[in-house]
Amino acid sequence: MKKNIVLFVLFILPIVAYLFFASGVNSFTKLPTITSKVTDFGNWKSLRGDEVRLDGKITVLGFSGTNLLANRGNLFNLNQKIYQRYHTFKDLQFVMLCPLGTEKDAQAVLEALKAFTDVKQWNFVFAAPEEIANFYKKMQLKSQLDSNYGTPNVFIFDKERNLRGRKDKEEYKEGYNTFHPAELSNEMLDDFKILLYEYKAALKKNNNATKQL
């Protein structure tokens, strides 16, 4: 009997604990909402001439500012750490909100990304600086845009235009700094997985409900 207990503690219990933490963490976690129902974009055009909307898409949103070329390394970090892992997810888009007049710079960055990335889910959208500042204000963030209407942070929106992040005081996170690859690989990737899991779980639940009907 004692031998069986020892074997259980040494071999079985660690396996059970591993399975619990490996498969259960995201199952019982929901990414908190920082700001609810942020107003959608105006009638702003992308490089492709399209109108891009937050509604109905999981969106990673950034603000390039007028120094887009100078800060292009931040976009390459985001591309490598997050975009390339998940860009095939059909309900996902990456949007950089850029001041009017930076179209050529945005095109240059997009061309550079094309060399090693499928850029279909990258969207560079253009608006007047005042419109960008007004939109950012409606996000109700603690951080501010810099004098060039940009920030190294990117933000995660769900399909209902809710800004998602971490609300706990000790690890509050409303955006993720693209200047730091480690922050993208750790905090942002973890949070992004949780949001995707929410939608996958909801889709599975709806499919099961349909089958039962």
CATH class name, domain 35-206: alpha beta
| pTM (2 d.p.) | 0.83
pLDDT tens, N- to C-terminus, the chain (213 residues): 655 565 555 656 566 554 444 444 434 479 999 999 999 999 999 999 999 999 999 999 999 999 999 999 999 999 999 999 999 998 999 999 999 999 999 999 999 999 999 999 999 999 999 999 999 999 999 999 999 999 999 999 999 999 999 999 889 999 999 999 999 999 999 999 999 999 888 777 666 543 443
Q: Where are the domains of the chain?
A: 35-206
Q: What is the biggest distance separating any 2 CA atoms in the chain, rounded to whole angstroms?
A: 77
